[in-house]
């Protein structure tokens, strides 16, 4: 996305109309319409409502997903033990559990 499209998207997500966006950015209504059309294509949506839903879903996924560092490690069922490679990502453990990966079985120190 271009810087201008990001500005338009920000205002769009604030609930501004095309006319309000045009006034704030000092561009024509037609230019706003073109930017919004491009934003819709890039996000693969057909309306503002779909765009809002997609952005909210993305935010929700970011809030409720575990940190990236944990996603690539083998976790035991109660999430208390992490793969030894986690120590390379500054993940600390209060005890010294074993990695549950069958290939590894190393102790976290």
Domain ranges of the chain: 3-64, 67-109
Collect contacts of 101-108 with beta carbons under 8 A, ≥24 apart. 101/74, 104/74, 108/81, 108/82, 108/84
pLDDT in tens, 25-68: 999 999 999 999 999 999 999 999 999 999 888 888 888 776 65
State the Cα torsion 54-58-60-66 to the nearest 10°: 160
> Alpha-carbon distance 2 to 91, whole Å?
36
**Per-residue pLDDT at 67:** 60
Angle, helix 29-43 to helix 18-25, in steps of 10 degrees: 110
Q: Specify the CATH architecture of the domain 3-64.
A: Orthogonal Bundle (1.10)
Query: Could you tell me the pTM of the whole model?
Result: 0.57
pLDDT in tens, 2-29: 999 999 999 999 999 999 999 999 999 9
pLDDT in tens, 73-105: 454 444 444 454 544 444 444 444 444 444 454
């Amino acid at each position: 996305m271009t810087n201008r499209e990001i500005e338009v998207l920000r205002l769009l997500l604030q609930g501004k109309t095309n006319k309000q966006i045009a006034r704030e950015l000092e561009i024509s209504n037609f230019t706003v319409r073109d930017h919004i059309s491009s934003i819709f294509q890039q996000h693969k949506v057909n309306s503002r409502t779909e765009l809002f839903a997609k952005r909210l879903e993305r935010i929700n996924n970011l809030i409720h997903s575990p940190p990236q560092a944990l996603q690539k490690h083998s976790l035991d069922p109660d999430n208390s033990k992490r793969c030894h490679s986690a120590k390379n990502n500054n993940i600390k453990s209060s005890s010294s559990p074993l990695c549950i990966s069958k290939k590894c079985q190393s102790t976290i120190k």
